[in-house]
Amino acid sequence: MEASGKRCLALALEADKVAKELNMLESIAVAPPNPALALVAERIDIPVIAQHVDDKGEGSTTGYNTVNMLRSFNIRGSIVNHSEHRLSLKEIEGVVKALRTSDMVAVVCVREPSEMDAIAGFELEPDYIAIEPPELIGTGNAVSRSKPEVITGSVERASRLGLKSKIICGAGIVDGSDSKAAIRLGSKGVLVASGIVKADNWYERIKDIASSMV
């Protein structure tokens, strides 16, 4: 709730400001709650992605968030299979294929490196695979520090499976030292929620994390 209502747009504007200052317009994206997607997309220049999209085609879709509907509001992609919104393999396959067909970004979350085997088996090749041990999410105990082997293991497994997806990580990331450690371990970026949302100064926290990866 720290980023609910109008504060959601305020946080997105801070991220947009940092991206422009650091010349990272395509390297920083925001994923606001679904009710704020269109509002945020109209006001900022950095990519806006959804937190979830449904495996549903066009037609009778009342209550669903479809890929083409998101795209019509200039939403650039979606997180898929976050640990707080898990999907079946069949649903992941449908969503990723729909996103790729619409030239939108797919960020598929996995809880452990072994889950990448199924993604490779379906030949999905999402743009990003985000490794997030669920037990660390929101704890402030960064995966890059407490479980570095999860990141290195994910990078190695992706290479062994022949996946072209970029590996990023999340769970417990709270500052620039955490994200810098993640990059050093082979991650191509970080997925952060409470580490920024619950910070006293959003601008400073976003800049700290982003600048550590430049």
Question: Each residue of 159-198: pLDDT tens digit?
Answer: 999 999 999 998 889 999 999 999 999 999 999 999 999 9
pLDDT at 143: 87
Segment 1-15 mean pLDDT = 94
Cα–Cα dist 10/31, whole Å: 13
pLDDT at 185: 94
Q: Catalytic one among 2, 14, 132, 204? A: 132
pLDDT band at 69 (very low <50, low <70, confident <90, very high): very high
pLDDT at 66: 96
pLDDT at 58: 81
Residue labelled with tokens 């790729």: 100
pLDDT at 213: 87
Residue labelled with tokens 């379906």: 122
The per-residue pLDDT for range 97-142, each reduced to its tens digit, is 999 999 999 999 999 899 999 888 778 889 999 998 888 877 878 8
Segment 140-156 mean pLDDT = 88
Q: Note the pTM of the prediction, 2 decimals.
A: 0.94
Instruction: Count Cβ atoms below 10 Å from residue 149 Cβ, excluding itself.
Output: 11
Q: What are the tokens at 202?
A: 């959003």
84 catalytic, yes or no? Answer: no
Segment 25-35 mean pLDDT = 96
pLDDT at 90: 93
- Residue 20 is classified by DSSP as H
70 close to 51: Cβ distance less than 8 angstroms? no
pLDDT at 120: 83
pLDDT band at 214 (very low <50, low <70, confident <90, very high): confident
93 catalytic, yes or no? Answer: no
Domain limits, the chain? 6-211
Q: Does domain 6-211 have CATH number 3.30.720.210?
A: no
User: Average pLDDT of the chain?
Assistant: 93
Q: Catalytic one among 14, 82, 93, 115? A: 82
